[in-house]
Every structure is written in structure tokens, then in C-alpha cells.
């Protein structure tokens, strides 16, 4: 294992595997977030279930570990590549040409890490260690995650930052998904273009789905004030 991780191909394999693991989390996270469109009861119930379900709690350390491994190894590979070729060079895409996101994956990832820090401080940390208002559903007292999120989405600057970050996420996913599948050997000449399309469609759906929510609730907040 030490020899495997010491090799460039091994590190790339782990980056790809951890990336696809995070893609799975993003999908689940988006589905839960979209329940906000169904109202406070549905979303708070979903958030409460995610926060109290033993299986979900058991997966959380794996999620954190996967994220840290993905960031650390990606940064290390980017540094190794930079040290080996300090001048700018093109990264060849599966289609035979160079794409902007392929050449700037580390930059996109770094911007996402910065946004993640803000996102966690705005929601996850406040939900876990703060004292959001209580919300009662069928006799069960839970934290009012819905109000916490929608109040944040009423701030124009946060909505703008969130939408830009989702654009960055979309670019990162558009290249990252198909690149990870290629690294894991789950593609060939026939499937390269297909996975490229799948990656782009997935990126649009996920980034668009996440961006939809702050825009929707910001507009709703503005209409309620008028």
C-alpha cells in the first residue's frame, strides 16, 4: 500500500476514488436540500433525520476523511506537476484538446475549499454547535434548519457568492467526473465521449440545482417585503 501511494498513479487513483465518493455525497446533499421547496416541515424533518440517523453519523467521519484526502493529494499532485514543469503547459482532454477546467482544476478546487469554509460556518457549524430556533413536528422537537438557511439566502451578497461558487463547482465536476472514471479504468475509446457528456450533464444538474435554491428564496424574500 505504501508503494502504491508513493507512486503517481496510485495517488491519482486515490484522488479519483475520493472524488467519486464526494460526488455521491453531493448527490444526496442536493436531494435533501431540494426538499426546502416543499416547505419547512419537510426540510426540517429531512435535516433532523440526517443529523440523528446512526448510519449517516457513521458515514460522516468517512466523508471528512475522504474530503481531506482528496484535498491533500490533489494539492500534492499539483505541486509535483508544477515543480516538474514550472512553465505553463496544456493538459490534453479525452477529446484530444485542452479545456480550461482541465488546466485549472487545482484553482477551482482551491476556490471551492474557501467557499466550503464559509458554507460550514454559516450552516453546519451553527446547526451543530449553535442554538437555532426549535421546531416542533408531531411532538418531536428539532432544530429549525429551514429558517436558518432561508434567512441566509435573503442576503444578496451571500446569494451572489453562492451562485458563483456553484459555477465553480460545475466547472470542477464537468472535468472531474469523467477524469476520475478514466483514471479508475472505467472507460475506453468508445466510452470516453459518453462519460464526458455524462460528466457535463451531471455538473449542470448538480450546480444548477444548488444554485436554484438561494436564488428562489432570495426572490421570495424580496416579494414578501414588497
Domains plus CATH for the chain? 2-225 (1.20.1300.10)
Task: Please indicate whether residue 1 or residue 26 has the higher confidence score (pLDDT).
Answer: 26
**Selection from 176, 177, 175, 161 nearest residue 210 by Cα:** 161
Helix orientation angle between 54-84 and 40-52, rounded to the nearest 10 degrees: 80
Residue 103 and residue 87 in contact, taking contact as beta carbons nearer than 8 Å: no
In 35-155, where does DSSP find H-type helix? 40-52, 54-84, 100-103, 105-119, 125-129, 145-152
By mean pLDDT, which of 5-14, 90-99, 170-179 is the weakest?
90-99
Cell 437555532 locates to 132
pLDDT in tens, 110-157: 999 999 999 999 888 888 887 788 998 988 899 999 999 999 999 999
Q: What's the rounded Cα separation, in Å, for the pair 135 and 144? A: 5
- Sign for the pseudo-dihedral over CA of 211, 166, 30, 126: negative
Quick one: how far is CA 125 from the chain centroid? 17
Rounded CA separation 124/61 (Å): 14
Amino acid at each position: 500500500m505504501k508503494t502504491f501511494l508513493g507512486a503517481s498513479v496510485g495517488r491519482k487513483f486515490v484522488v479519483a476514488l475520493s472524488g467519486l465518493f464526494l460526488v455521491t455525497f453531493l448527490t444526496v446533499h442536493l436531494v435533501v436540500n431540494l426538499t426546502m421547496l416543499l416547505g419547512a416541515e419537510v426540510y426540517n424533518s429531512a435535516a433532523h433525520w440526517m443529523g440523528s440517523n446512526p448510519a449517516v453519523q457513521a458515514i460522516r467521519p468517512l466523508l471528512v476523511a475522504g474530503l481531506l484526502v482528496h484535498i491533500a493529494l490533489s494539492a500534492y499532485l499539483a505541486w509535483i506537476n508544477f515543480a516538474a514543469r514550472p512553465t505553463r503547459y496544456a493538459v490534453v482532454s479525452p477529446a484530444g484538446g485542452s479545456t480550461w477546467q482541465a488546466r485549472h482544476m487545482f484553482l477551482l478546487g482551491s476556490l471551492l475549499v474557501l467557499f466550503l469554509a464559509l458554507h460550514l460556518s454559516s450552516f453546519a457549524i451553527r446547526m451543530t454547535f449553535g442554538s437555532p430556533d426549535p421546531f416542533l413536528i408531531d411532538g418531536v422537537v428539532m432544530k429549525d434548519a429551514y429558517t436558518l438557511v432561508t434567512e441566509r439566502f435573503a442576503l444578496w451578497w451571500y446569494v451572489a457568492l453562492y451562485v458563483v461558487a456553484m459555477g465553480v463547482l460545475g466547472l470542477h465536476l464537468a472535468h472531474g467526473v469523467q477524469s476520475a472514471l478514466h483514471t479508475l479504468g472505467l472507460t475506453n475509446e468508445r466510452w470516453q465521449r459518453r462519460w464526458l457528456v455524462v460528466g457535463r450533464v451531471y455538473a449542470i444538474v448538480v450546480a444548477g440545482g444548488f444554485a436554484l435554491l438561494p436564488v428562489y428564496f432570495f426572490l421570495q424574500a424580496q416579494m414578501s417585503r414588497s
